[in-house]
Amino acid sequence: MTAHTLRYYERVGLIQPVGRARNGHRRYSEADEAWLHFLHCMRAANMPIRDMQRYAELREKGDATSLERRKLLEDHQATIEAQIAELQKAHDLLTYKIANYKKIEERIGVGRPQLIEQEEESQLATAN
C-alpha cells in the first residue's frame, strides 16, 4: 500500500482523518492499521471502493448498523465464492491446455511436426 493510496483512501472517506505529528505528518494508530489491513484484504478480494465506503460509513454510525454491515460482508463473501469458482474453471482449463502443449512438444521432439496444427485444433475443439 503506497502513501498515495493511503491519502487517497482518506480523501474518499475510507478512513477518518488520521492523527498528525506536530509537523503535520500523518501518524497511523494501531486501530488505523487494523482497519487498513481489513481494507487491504477486501480490496485484494476485489471489493469495490464504493462498498468499502458504505461499510466504513455504517461503522462510523455505530451499533445500530450491525445487521446491514453483516449483510454487506455476506454479500461480498458470496461474490468471493463465485470468483473462486471462475478461477478454478480457468485453472482447470489451463491444466488441460498445458498438458496438451507438452504432448505437442514431445511430438516435435520425435520429429512429427506436421501433426501440430491438427493437435492445436483438437485442443481448441475440446477445450472446456
Partner DNA sequence: TATTGACTTTGAGCGCGCTCCAAGATGTAG
Partner DNA sequence: CTACATCTTGGAGCGCGCTCAAAGTCAATA
Q: Which positions lie near a second copy, rule CB under 8 A? A: 30-31, 34-35, 37-38, 41-42, 44-45, 59, 62-63, 66-67, 69-70, 73-74, 76-77, 80-81, 83-84, 86-91, 93-95, 97-98, 101-102, 104-105, 108, 113, 116-117, 120-121, 124-125, 127-128
Give the whole-angstrom CA distance, residue 19 versus residue 22: 10
Do residues 116 and 107 touch, judged by C-beta distance below 8 A? yes
How many CB atoms are closer than 10 A to CB 39? 21
Among 38, 43, 79, 123, binds DNA (CB under 7 A): 43
Q: What is the DSSP string of 25-78?
A: -B---HHHHHHHHHHHHHHHTT--HHHHHHHHHHHHH-GGGHHHHHHHHHHHHH
Based on CB atoms, which residue is closest to DNA, 25 or 102?
25
How many CB atoms are closer than 10 A to CB 114? 8
By CB under 7 A, is residue 49 in contact with DNA? yes
By CB under 7 A, is residue 73 in contact with DNA? no
**Which 8-state DSSP code applies to residue 20?**
B
Based on CB atoms, which residue is closest to DNA, 9 or 104?
9
Based on CB atoms, which residue is closest to a second copy, 20 or 37?
37
Based on CB atoms, which residue is closest to DNA, 50 or 102?
50
The residues of the shown chain that bind DNA, judged by CB under 7 A, are 2-5, 7-8, 11, 20, 22-26, 43, 48-50
